[in-house]
């Protein structure tokens, strides 16, 4: 993916980095060191927890990249809790939103289960995986 010359905000650039990481993961490629370094530069600028799903996604992905899986689990759990709340509040929103729909929810579940596996918590990984929602 070619990098834009300018971003509107720190969050916008972090979102671009997330997309780059996901593209690498899907294609079995190693995430370039400059992407990891840029996460390290931007995350402190992003600030403290603002209660958003995206905040925890950015931190979870960074923690996974640097093999801090326990920290990643904390961020994935927070992300999942917010998504579950959103699902309860707005069932229709979860089904129709292109960014925060059931598929996204299940992707977060999968990442959390993977993080549990990497920390030797297979039982929690299995339990987490069972929380997936059926696609409709």
Q: Give tens-digit pLDDT for 41-69.
A: 999 887 777 888 889 999 999 999 999 99
Q: What is the pTM of this model?
A: 0.81
> Phi/psi of residue 100, each to 5°?
-125, 65
pLDDT-derived band at 101, boundaries 50, 70, 90: confident
| 97 has pLDDT over 70 | no
Torsion, Cα 127 129 131 136, to 10 degrees, reads -160
Contact 79, 53 (CB under 8 A): yes
Spatial CB neighbours of 65, under 8 Å, sequence gap ≥ 6: 21, 31, 35, 36, 39
Which stretches within 9-101 are classed as H helix?
10-26, 33-46, 53-65, 69-89, 91-96
């Amino acid at each position: 993916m070619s990098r834009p010359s300018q971003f509107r905000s720190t969050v916008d650039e972090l979102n671009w980095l997330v997309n780059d990481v996901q593209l690498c993961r899907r294609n079995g490629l190693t995430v370039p060191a400059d992407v990891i370094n840029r996460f390290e530069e931007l995350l402190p600028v992003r600030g403290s927890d603002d209660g958003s799903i995206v905040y925890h996604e950015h931190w979870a992905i960074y923690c996974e990249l640097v093999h801090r899986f326990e920290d990643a689990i904390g961020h994935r759990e927070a992300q999942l809790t917010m998504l579950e709340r959103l699902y309860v509040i707005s069932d229709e929103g979860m089904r129709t939103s292109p960014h925060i729909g059931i598929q996204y929810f299940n992707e977060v579940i999968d990442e959390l289960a993977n993080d549990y596996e990497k920390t030797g918590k297979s039982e929690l990984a299995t339990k987490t995986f069972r929380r997936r929602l059926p696609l409709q």
